[in-house]
Amino acid sequence: MAKRHRIQFPRAGATDLAQDETFFYLHGPGGKKKIRFHDYDQIYQNPGLYEQLFYDRLKCQSPSKVAGILSKTVAQSQENFTELRVLDLGAGNGLMGEELKKSGVSRLVGVDIIPEARDATERDRPGLYDAYYVVDFCDLDSDEREDIASWSFNCLTTVAALGFGDIPARAFLEAFNMLQNEGWVAFNIKETFLYTSDTSGFSKTIRELIFSRYLDLYHLERYRHRLSIEGEPLYYFAIAGRKKADIPAQELEKQAS
């Protein structure tokens, strides 16, 4: 069992930060250390810290929610969940992979951009993934692309990693194109990213994908992703659908500009 960490949140009202700027203090032998919620490389180096912070304290439920809607959607289509070959993009330390493995997927491949994520998975959940790649999907070379695509994925999952600079839209679309046609897609996204009032390029790209000819939308559900450090609910959308066609190269190039 991983040791319990001493976590301290900043005083209520002391900060007025965006979700990706939120931080906490970790108390240890060297004193008090300030860590942002999105400093995953630092968090993953402490066994059990990610789970204690986001799941025990802030009640995150996104891996089980997204895995659950994927399972229901596949079952409603009278297909076998155990035949899925899954690309888990932004796999982190394997919490989404663990949910997928419970349902017995055929193959499970993780991808993340930081080696600390893979190291944490190998430390805490050894053998969970059939393979785990540390690569940048915005900058894949031909060998990396061929190697990863050789798994013949028919399912793509991404949980709590879209937006905030964690996974750019370009990386998600590149992963989408690795998926076989008629493959399943399941992910979540902060609710405001789907509102037309959000005029950012990322938000516009994701909205266009969800309501496009490239994806058949099967399930869209607003739910509580987790709590904020003030105890307020943070709402996301959980999305499941089926790929109809690749994103054209010219559309991908727009994301690179």
Same domain, 40 and 74: no
Residue 226 has pLDDT above 90, yes or no: yes
Same domain, 179 and 77: yes
**Residue 138 located in a structural domain:** yes
Same domain, 15 and 134: no
Range(s) of the domain holding residue 31:
6-57
Strands 155-158 and 85-89 come out as parallel
Q: Please, are residues 232 and 200 in contact by the beta-carbon 8 Å criterion?
A: no
Same domain, 48 and 80: no
CATH of the domain at 252: 3.40.50.150
Amino acid occupying residue 121: T
Same domain, 164 and 208: yes
Same domain, 40 and 134: no
**Residue 156 located in a structural domain:** yes
Same domain, 22 and 69: no
**Residue 181 located in a structural domain:** yes
Residue 68: per-residue pLDDT: 96
Which of 35, 57, 79 corresponds to the end of one domain?
57
Same domain, 144 and 95: yes
Same domain, 40 and 132: no
How confident is the model over 203-219, as pLDDT tens digits?
A: 788 888 888 889 999 99
Tokens of 101: 């493995």
**Residue 1 located in a structural domain:** no
DSSP the chain: -PPPPEEEPPPTTS----GGG-EEEEEETTEEEEEETT-HHHHHTSTTHHIIIIIIIS---HHHHHHHHHHHHHHHTT--GGG-EEEEET-TTSHHHHHHHHTT-SEEEEEESSHHHHHHHHHHSTT-SSEEEE--TTS--HHHHHHHHTT--SEEEE-S-BBTTTB-HHHHHHHHHHSPTT-EEEEEEEGGGGSTT--SHHHHHHHHHHTSTTEEEEEEEEEEEEE-TTS-EEEEEEEEEEE-SPPPHHHHHHHH-
**Residue 241 located in a structural domain:** yes
**Residue 121 located in a structural domain:** yes
- Number of structural domains found in the chain: 2
Cβ partners under 8 Å of residue 55, min gap 6: 95
**Residue 19 located in a structural domain:** yes
Same domain, 16 and 95: no
Same domain, 48 and 175: no
Same domain, 96 and 34: no
Cβ partners under 8 Å of residue 232, min gap 6: none
How confident is the model over 96-125, as pLDDT tens digits?
A: 999 999 989 999 999 999 999 999 999 999
How confident is the model over 144-196, as pLDDT tens digits?
A: 999 999 999 999 999 987 766 668 888 999 999 999 999 999 999 888 888 77
* Average pLDDT along the chain: 90
Residue 30: per-residue pLDDT: 82
Which of 16, 34, 57 corresponds to the end of one domain?
57
For residues 66 and 89, what is the distance between their CA atoms, to the nearest angstrom?
Answer: 13
**Residue 192 located in a structural domain:** yes
